[in-house]
């Protein structure tokens, strides 16, 4: 059975268990996950015994070319509702991210509840998905090394531009998020925006590529002083031990605790201001994540980042990030060293 057909079959089984006849999706990457077609305009994907996508007129050629399930041109909400009612649909599940403006068009005609069927499916990556993430990582890491960052005389903006260009030249579809190149005091901002200034010290770069729709994510911080190296060493210890702790059967929050406890023991617990990691795939941020509140039990096939950081306001910040695939343990995807010589 093809991967996308298996995804549909699994969700149909979930629907049957909960007495739903249909499942409504509109999020672009959810539609792509089910069908292979990523909308460029709105689309309504309805998973049922005979799944269907209602696509906009401007997307019909693209949808017909790429979708593994039937595509019809969208006419109106009324047409969709009438067709569903004509098929005997009474109870309908919706994705949690469904816009409220869409929900109100259906709520008067169906018993509706929000279900995470699609999120649970996407938590576990197939071998093909992992291969694409690995290829995206390979492209991103190769491109990073081309920067020769320790001898780079360019501005933050120019370095970010060069990194994106290298990734595309090396086979990426595009960057997986806005590339972060920051340095000096601004490195204490986790989501700093590259500026038109020469690289300072330290240099923090957070970047990723998309290959065949799938994302990668890495962060490296290049340090120059004894004080910066001291913080780097703490973050590296938290990074390494969190990866070592990640394995099937334990909760995501336990991995976060490992990294957070190490940083706290060194006196910087209040300077670690985000979660330890997040899943990725068709989206750069997916579930589950290594956070204090996520009690999801880790399973084989999950792909999750590990990115502890310490941020000293007005001074500098250090973050180190790799992406791991969960098998018998957490295996780092890619081979880029943490320390850049």
Q: What is the CATH number of the domain that holds 227?
A: 3.90.230.10
The answer on 182 and 164 residing in a single domain is: yes
- Does 209 fall in a domain? yes
- Does 341 fall in a domain? no
**In a 3-state reduction of DSSP, which class is residue 211?**
strand
- Does 340 fall in a domain? no
Whose structure tokens read 């699609």? 118
The answer on 114 and 191 residing in a single domain is: no
Report whether 216 contacts 137 (CB < 8 A): yes
Residue that is last in its domain, among 121, 137, 156? 121
Say which residues have a Cβ less than 8 Å from residue 327's Cβ, sequence separation at least 6. 300
The confidence score (pLDDT) of residue 1 equals 46
Surface-to-core class of residue 231, CB atoms within 10 Å of its CB (0-12 exposed, 13-18 middle, 19+ buried): buried
Residue that is last in its domain, among 68, 99, 121? 121
- Does 60 fall in a domain? yes
CATH (domain of 84): 3.40.350.10
Give pTM, 2 decimals: 0.95
Cα 81 to Cα 301: distance, rounded to the nearest angstrom = 37
- Does 338 fall in a domain? no
The answer on 134 and 113 residing in a single domain is: no
Cα 228 to Cα 175: distance, rounded to the nearest angstrom = 28
Nearest to 98 by CA among 81, 85, 82, 117: 117
Six-digit token string for 47: 């998973």
Nearest to 118 by CA among 45, 195, 213, 210: 45
Whose structure tokens read 């401007």? 58
The answer on 185 and 104 residing in a single domain is: no
3-class SS string, 62-92:
HHHHHCCCEEEECCCHHHHHHHHHHCCCCEE
The answer on 174 and 269 residing in a single domain is: yes
Report whether 220 contacts 208 (CB < 8 A): no
pLDDT digits (tens), the chain, 341 positions: 467 788 899 999 999 999 999 999 999 999 999 999 999 999 999 999 999 999 999 999 999 999 999 999 999 999 999 999 999 999 999 999 999 999 999 999 999 999 999 999 999 999 999 999 999 999 999 999 999 998 899 999 999 999 999 999 999 999 999 999 999 999 999 999 999 999 999 999 999 999 999 999 999 999 999 999 999 999 999 999 999 999 999 999 999 999 999 999 999 999 999 999 999 999 999 999 999 999 999 999 999 999 999 999 999 999 999 999 999 999 999 999 999 87
The answer on 190 and 146 residing in a single domain is: yes
Question: CB neighbours (10 Å) of residue 103?
Answer: 13
The answer on 169 and 68 residing in a single domain is: no
- Does 76 fall in a domain? yes
The answer on 155 and 78 residing in a single domain is: no
Say which residues have a Cβ less than 8 Å from residue 339's Cβ, sequence separation at least 6. 236
Cα 25 to Cα 47: distance, rounded to the nearest angstrom = 8
- Does 192 fall in a domain? yes
Number of domains in the chain: 2
The CA-CA-CA angle for residues 179, 182, 187, to 5°, reads 125
Give the CA distances from residue 216 to residues 93, 105, 201, 268, 274, in Å, rounded to whole numbers and listed in that order: 31, 36, 25, 28, 19
Question: Is the preceding peptide bond at 202 cis, omega within 30 degrees of 0?
Answer: yes
Residue range of the domain that includes 33: 3-121
The answer on 144 and 110 residing in a single domain is: no
The answer on 203 and 161 residing in a single domain is: yes
The answer on 174 and 132 residing in a single domain is: yes
Six-digit token string for 103: 């929900």
DSSP class of 227: H
- Does 171 fall in a domain? yes
Residue that is last in its domain, among 121, 155, 178? 121
The answer on 199 and 57 residing in a single domain is: no
How much of the chain is helix, strand and coil, in % rounded to 5? 40, 25, 35
Cα 114 to Cα 129: distance, rounded to the nearest angstrom = 26
């Amino acid at each position: 059975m093809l991967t996308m057909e298996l995804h549909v079959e699994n969700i149909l089984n979930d629907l049957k268990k909960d007495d739903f006849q249909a499942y409504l999706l509109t999020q672009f990457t959810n539609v792509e996950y089910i069908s292979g077609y990523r909308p460029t305009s709105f689309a309504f994907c309805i998973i049922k015994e005979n799944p269907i996508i209602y696509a906009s007129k401007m997307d019909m050629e693209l949808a017909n070319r790429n979708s593994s399930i039937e595509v019809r041109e969208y006419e109106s909400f009324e047409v969709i509702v009438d067709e569903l009612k004509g098929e005997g649909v009474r109870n309908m599940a919706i994705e949690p991210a469904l816009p409220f403006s869409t929900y109100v068009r259906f709520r008067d005609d169906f018993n509706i509840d929000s279900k995470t069927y699609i999120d649970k499916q996407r938590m576990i990556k197939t071998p093909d998905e992992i291969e694409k993430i690995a290829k995206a990582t390979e492209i991103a890491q190769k491109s990073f090394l081309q920067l020769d960052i320790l001898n780079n005389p360019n501005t933050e903006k120019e370095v970010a531009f060069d990194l994106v260009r290298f990734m595309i030249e090396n086979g990426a579809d595009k960057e997986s998020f806005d590339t972060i190149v920051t340095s000096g005091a601004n490195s204490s901002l986790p989501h700093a925006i590259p500026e038109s200034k020469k690289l300072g010290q330290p240099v923090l770069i957070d970047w990723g590529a998309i290959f065949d729709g799938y994302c990668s994510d890495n962060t490296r911080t290049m340090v120059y002083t004894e004080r910066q190296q001291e913080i780097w060493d703490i973050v590296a210890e938290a990074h390494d031990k969190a990866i070592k702790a990640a394995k099937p059967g334990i909760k995501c929050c336990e991995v976060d605790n490992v990294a957070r406890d190490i940083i706290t023991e060194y006196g910087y617990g209040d300077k670690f201001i985000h979660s330890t990691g997040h899943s990725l795939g068709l989206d750069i941020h997916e579930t589950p994540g290594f956070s204090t509140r996520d009690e999801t039990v880790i399973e084989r096939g999950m792909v999750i980042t590990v990115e502890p950081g310490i941020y000293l306001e007005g001074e500098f910040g250090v973050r180190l990030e790799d992406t791991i695939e969960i098998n018998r343990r957490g295996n780092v995807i890619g081979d880029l060293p943490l320390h850049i010589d």
